[in-house]
Amino acid sequence: MIAITVGSAFARMADDQSKRVKIVGGGVELVEITPLAPQCGKQKGETIHLKVTSETAIDVRLYIQTGWREWINKDFTNQKKGDEISNVRCNQKPNYKIYSHAAGSTDAWPKP
């Protein structure tokens, strides 16, 4: 009975993550969102973990929706296959949008 409850909770957590994370560009996959972030101390927090799957180097932009419904961004340049990207957010469970394009591209990033 406990296994069913744990499995059910895990399924809900995975479903919650898929609703909050939108990967728009290719070459990146969601590994997980961990609910505890040691960097946040006593505040609630979470860490998003991504992995680069692109065969060629890419730049990745992570948009994070703040509690005020504004989007902030963080860039990770020249990421290669197998690289891991992590970002910590304290005191919130934001939505995320992930974009990518060829490393060094001068194309403008789309707005979230």
In the structure encoding, which two tokens stand for residue 28, read together? 């990146």
Distance in angstroms (rounded) separating the CA atoms of residues 41 and 74 = 22
**Would you report the helix, strand and coil content of the chain in percent, each value rounded to 5?**
20, 45, 35
Structure confidence by residue, pLDDT tens digits, 4-26: 334 444 444 555 777 899 999 89
Domains and CATH numbers, the chain: 2-102 (2.60.40)
Q: What is the pLDDT of residue 4?
A: 35
Taking the C-alpha atoms of residue 7 and residue 81, their distance in angstroms, rounded to an integer, is 31
For the chain, give the percent of residues with pLDDT over 70.
86
Which class for 62: exposed (0-12), middle (13-18), buried (19 or more C-beta within 10 A)? Answer: buried
- The confidence score (pLDDT) of residue 2 equals 37
Give the pLDDT mean for 69-86. 96
pLDDT the model gives residue 91:
76
Q: Tell me the mean pLDDT in the region 32-36.
A: 87
